[in-house]
Structure 1
């Protein structure tokens, strides 16, 4: 059989590329022919989808979320740059800082570097960020400025936002002729009970008692931004992605696109599915939310379009998804098996592949 392998990551164990490699290895041992197409909905691991797509990997030193220098990578081909913002402000880079002492400054540096390398289309995945600064740091890196009530310049960290008396975008880097596309499955607004702080803040170390304080900072920033940006994107779906980084990107004329659909288009997934006998996708944990634009649902939709059987192999499946996939298979069949499977996910994933697709 010719099988397209298009999983998302199995969080905590395998990234998209690693999961696809394990699947392919198991299938090829059974005599099947495979096409490897790691997938993402714009969240963690976006870059892994482009490792085997002919893109150049570019390494650059940027400012990390805690203000120190970190090494970040992005991919580029034919004027299109793919940036994962977590490379510059991700949770994996945190070494113990308080959420007040973080910044998205490095994201702006990545954008500037890509433009200087000749990018005319930049795609930004917003998953995995450690920041809640509404893109304030990125704004500063792109040439924006902020002053306090004494007309003194402010720093680039989250804690500086409450002191902003005025934002100045006079020297802000313009992206004329450059298309900025946000790849994200997040639909949260910037503010409110469903906004950036209250939805994602606790995951980034903000204590329950501090949520109002951080919410107030973003309210204050959005009020000051109204003086320099013509449109108010605070309520735009996706503005709350990456701690409000999505909102600032919208302010500088980025467009929002469903991450899974965008990635599928860029890696030419549909063309491969059209020629396949079967399709496999998967993720760490699947439930009914998987069907709301997550990578496996995008793969399934393309498979249905071309009448190809699509199988879901996930770490855990907690709700019945058999109406959406031809076959659904969980690596963890009982709660007590979670630690065992996570300790050696490649073994269980490969075993499951060979069980489903024998020689």
Structure 2
């Protein structure tokens, strides 16, 4: 059989390319033809979908979420650059947990670096961020300025947003001539009970008693931003992505797109699916939310258009998804300990592939 492999990452264990490569090696051992198309819905790990797509890997140093220098990468081909927020302000870069002392400044540096290398089309994945600053740091890196009531510059750190009296755009320059597209599966607004702080703040170390404080900071930034931007994107779906980075980018002219759909188009997944006998997709943990724009749901949509069956192989499957996939398989089933599976995911994944297709 010709089998297309389009998994997302198995978070905490395998990235999407590693998972696809393990499946491919195992399938080839037992006589099947495998085509790897690692998928992403715009979350952290998006870059892994482009490793084998002919892009050049660019290495650089940027400002990390805590203000120090961190190494980062992005991918580029012709005038197209693929960037990932997590490379500059990802949760994995944290060395201490002080959400007020963080910044998205490095994301702006990534964008500038790509632009200076000739990028005129930029795709930015918003997953995995450690920041709650509404893109304020990024705005500053891109040439924006902020002054307090006495006219002094405001620092780029989240906790100092409340000191802003005026935002200035006279030096803001980056998106002229650049088509910026945001890849995200998040549809939350900027503020409120479903907003960036209320929903995602706790995942980034904001304590329950601090939520109102961070919400007020974001609200203050929003108020000041409305003095300089012509449209209010705070209620646009995705504004709350990456701690409000989605909102700031849309203020600056970026377009928000469903991450999984965009990535599938860019890696030509549909062309591969057309000629396949079977598709395998998967992720770390699947439930009914998987069908709300996550990578496996996008794969299933594409395959359905061409009548190709899809198998879902995930680390865990906690709800019945058999109506959406031809077969569903879980690495951690009733007979296997979740922690043991996570420690030996490669072995368990290869074993399951042999059992299904051998």
TM-score range, shorter chain: over 0.9
Q: Does 1:162 align with 2:128?
A: no
Instruction: List aligned pairs for 1:84-233, cutoff 5 A.
Output: 84-233=84-233
Q: Which moved more, 1:22-31 or 1:173-182?
A: 173-182
SS in 2 for 1:221: helix
Aligned partner of 1:78 in structure 2 is: 78
Report how far residue 173 of structure 1 moved.
1.4
TM-score (norm 1): 0.99
CA contact (8 A) 1:102 1:131 kept: yes
Report how far residue 44 of structure 1 moved.
1.3
Q: What whole-Å deviation, never above 9, does each CA across 1:149-169 have from its counterpart, x for those lacking one?
A: 111111110011010000001
Report how far residue 343 of structure 1 moved.
1.0
SS in 1 for 2:173: coil
Report how far residue 335 of structure 1 moved.
7.8
Report how far residue 334 of structure 1 moved.
2.1
Q: What whole-Å deviation, never above 9, does each CA across 1:320-350 have from its counterpart, x for those lacking one?
A: 1111110000011128610111110001101
Q: Which runs of 5+ in 1 are unaligned?
A: none
Aligned partner of 1:255 in structure 2 is: 255
SS in 1 for 2:57: strand
Aligned partner of 1:317 in structure 2 is: 317
Q: Which runs of 4+ in 1 moved over 4 A?
A: none
CA contact (8 A) 2:124 2:181 kept: yes
Instruction: List aligned pairs for 1:15-54, cutoff 5 A.
Output: 15-54=15-54
Q: What whole-Å deviation, never above 9, does each CA across 1:94-145 have from its counterpart, x for those lacking one?
A: 0004101000000000000000011110000000000000000000000100
CA contact (8 A) 2:115 2:174 kept: no
CA distance in 1 between counterparts of 2:97 and 2:153 reads 23
Q: Does 1:301 align with 2:301?
A: yes
Q: Aligned Cα RMSD in Å?
A: 0.8
CA contact (8 A) 1:66 1:97 kept: no
Count of paired positions: 358
Report how far residue 177 of structure 1 moved.
2.2
TM-score (norm 2): 0.99
Aligned partner of 1:281 in structure 2 is: 281
Q: Which runs of 5+ in 2 are unaligned?
A: none
